[in-house]
Every structure is written in structure tokens, then in C-alpha cells.
Homo-oligomer: A and B are copies of this chain.
Amino acid sequence: MTSDGLGLDTEVISALETADVRFPTSAQLDGSDAMNPEPDYSAAYVVLRTSSGGVGYGLAFTVGRGNDVQVAAIEALAPLVVGLPVAEVLGDLGAFSRRLTGDSQLRWLGPHKGVIHMAAGAVVNAMWDLYGRRAGKPVWQLLSDLTPRQLVDLVDFRYLSDALTADEALDILERAREGRGARRDELLRNGYPAYTTTPGWLGYSDDKLVTLAREAVADGFHHIKLKVGADRDADVWRMRIAREAVGPDVRIAVDANQAWGVQEAIDWMRLLAPYDPYWIEEPTSPDDVLGHAAIRQGVAPVRVATGEHTHNAVMFKQLLQAGAIDILQLDATRVAGVTENVAILLLAAKFGIPVCPHAGGVGLCEMVQHLAMFDYVAVSASTQDRVVEYVDHLHEHFVDPATIARGRYIAPRLPGLSAQLKPASVEAYRFPDGPRWADTDPAAIP
């Protein structure tokens, strides 16, 4: 499309490849909660290739059926991406993101929400992965090494400036400049705090819950999470045995996965309050900003957390403006990727709300760790009351898997965003024709 003046073609994005990858997790009830009884954790996987052999990997996470729709949405973005000069894209990743989310026809499918927005997230993340590989840095470090001005230029302030102006964002980042190096070194030494959801899925027996909760504490976690919202009496019982298992000093968060109405959430949480829940996560519809604000009033001092289904920065802005949340749980692929998450981290810093990213699924631990570590080094400059979710499954499918030691994420050192699946895993779990699915009785697929 352009020339470098030497008669050689300038490097362009030459291909956007996709794959529908699904893991049959419903067979074990890993990941079961009040709204997701039988998830098959899946990735709408994207590989960007350049004309010079560069590559970047990204994905959108889904829970099974519909992953093909998510793949179709990513493919709909290909004409906006293939052919673009790589240097131009990397020189203005804010413009790249606006290109993907602002297309005058495709935006009707959102705007800025649902599969078309998650598709933009997958592609934007693949571009950040490519950028990290090219720079020879993990993305958390790449972001931390950008100047405050470069970071602010990533953000689209059109719908945000009533809560956060570019100058305010610049101030936040300038203040965090002091100590960046020391925090980076500390992170490389000690990692970033994690909490674990592994004990708490609804499908588990009491014995399994207690055993896994004790193991989590023995493994160094100070914070675990239980799924709630399907049955009141069972929730009270599980919260009680979990509290007895871990003692008073371990934080136990609970997660209703949107099961309740506003008053129902308040009433239900009163029953759990004697066992000191640390936060209630997704008590109601993720769209209900005012509902979360009412619940927060009603359940204090229990904290309110949400974010994994919060579909864009405008929604996070309002959750913060309305005083609706104590904890902001950004997600790597619900929004338009790393670029929109920079805006979300800045909003959280402006309002002084800790960010505790949502993870689990497929590749979410791998990706969000970069965002939390960037936040620590260059934005909020704190790990106080901040933890990244950790769920111990499916990491074996990643080339650069998230790694936990003594309840902390070890900082990734390989270049990129850690989103690359092993080629053998993509082939084995490709839906519906990969061997792990082709050999399965279709009637057994829920």
C-alpha cells in the first residue's frame, strides 16, 4: 500500500486468521456458577501476520455455543485490518482501536458492546502482542515504558471527559513516574498478588470445597472466592464451612454471576454477612449502574465488585461516577483490548478504586496479568487491596502460561501478551472438526 522509498514494499498486515477453539470443560463442572451451569470454555482465536513474517496472537473468550458467532465478528473486521502498514498502526494504536470500533456500518452491531466489541478486543490485543514481540518486551513492561503522553494518546476521551480529561490522565501518569523503576524491580522479584476461585465452583461437593480451600491457603493465597446465587441455604452453608476451613484472616469473596435483582441481592447478602464476605461480585445485571449503587448502600461494609461483563469504558465511568463499586474487575477481552483497558485503568485511578482483574476462562489470566502489572508500575503505583483472579485450568495450552508461586503471579518475561495457544492445542480442540470434538458423540455436547 505504501513504499519505503527504497523500492521495497513497506511491511503491512498481510493476514488475519481465526480459529474456533473449545475445551470440553462442562464435563467436570469446572467453571459452573449460578448463570453458567455448563460452560465449555472457548476462544475465538486470532492470528495477525505481517508481510515481513511478524506475528501477533489474540483471542476473545466465550463459554461455548456462539463461539462461531464471535469468530464471524472477528472475520468481519479483517477488511479494516489487512493491508494496513504496520508502522502506521504501531505509531497510533489509539487510531487503530477507533478504526475497529468506529466503522460506520459495523458499529451498528454494538455500538461498543457485544460480539463486535469483543472482536475488536481480540484484534487489538493481537496487535499489542505483535508490538511486544517486536519490542522484545512483555506487554506490561512495554506499556510501563511508554511516556505519559504516549499513554494518554491511546485514549478516546470523547465520551469520558466529563469524568476524566486528558490533562487529568497526564497528571496521574506523571505522578506515577517516580518510582517506576523500583516497582518494576520489585515486581520482577516478588510477582503480583493473586486470589483463587478454584475451590468455589457451584458444582463441587462440600468435601472438595473444604479441601481445595485449605489447599489454597497452604499454597499461599490470602483470598479465595465462592460462587453463590443458586440456593440461599446452600450458600449460607458453603460460606460457613469455607470460613471454618480457612479461618478469620483469609478473605472470602462471593460471586453471584448476575443472579439477583436489586433488593434480592441485599437480602441474600444479609444472610451471608455473619461469615464476613469480602466482596459481592456481579450481584445483578452488569448493565445496572444505579442498581449496583443501591446494592452497595444496602450491603456495606461488604464491598461491591463488577466488571467482567461491563462492556466498555463508558459503563465503567458511570459505575465510578455513581459510587456503585468498591472494586473494578476489568476483563482482557470484553472491551476493546489493551487500548480501552488503559482508559479504564486511568478512570479507576482518578476515582481511587482498586482494579482486581477478572480472569480464568481461556487465556484471561495470561492477558490480565499484564494490565495489573502495568497498573502497579505506571498508573496506580500500588498493590494495596489489589489482586488478580487465578483459576488453575487450561494454562497447559499456552506457550507462555501464567505462573503462580506462593499466591502471586510471576511477572511474564517473554515478549508479547502471553495469548499464544500451542499449535497442537488449536488443532486438537478446533470446533467442530478437531479430534477432541470430532470423536465426541454430538448428543453429549450440552
Contact = CB atoms under 8 A, between A and B. Distances in A.
A139 B15 CA distance: 48
Given A109-B70, A115-B114, A117-B114, A288 B318 contact: yes
Given A38-B104, A104-B39, A114-B113, A290 B263 contact: no
Interface string A255-298: 00010111100000000000000000000111111110010000
Interface string A338-373: 000000000000000000000000000000000000
A119 to B, nearest CB: 8
Interface string A97-131: 00000011111111111111110000000000000
Contact of A68 (B76, B108, B111, B162): B76
Given A104-B37, A162-B261, A109 B66 contact: yes
A36 B102 CA distance: 10
A98 to B, nearest CB: 12
B73 A69 contact: yes
A64 B263 CA distance: 42
B105 A40 contact: yes
A234 to B, nearest CB: 19
A238 interface: no
A430 interface: no
A93 interface: no
Interface stretch (A214-222, A308-316, A378-386, A397-405): A308-316
Contact of A113 (B35, B40, B284, B287): B287
A40 B40 CA distance: 36
Contacts of A287: 112-113, 311-312, 314-315, 318
A321 to B, nearest CB: 5
Contacts of A289: 289-290, 318
Interface string A235-270: 000000000000000000000001011110000000
A134 interface: no
A162 B267 CA distance: 13
A290 B261 contact: no
B65 A72 contact: no
A62 interface: yes
Given A114-B114, A287-B311, 18 more contacts: A36-B108, A65-B76, A65-B106, A66-B76, A66-B108, A68-B72, A69-B73, A69-B109, A159-B262, A159-B288, A162-B261, A162-B294, A285-B314, A287-B315, A288-B314, A290-B318, A291-B314, A291-B318
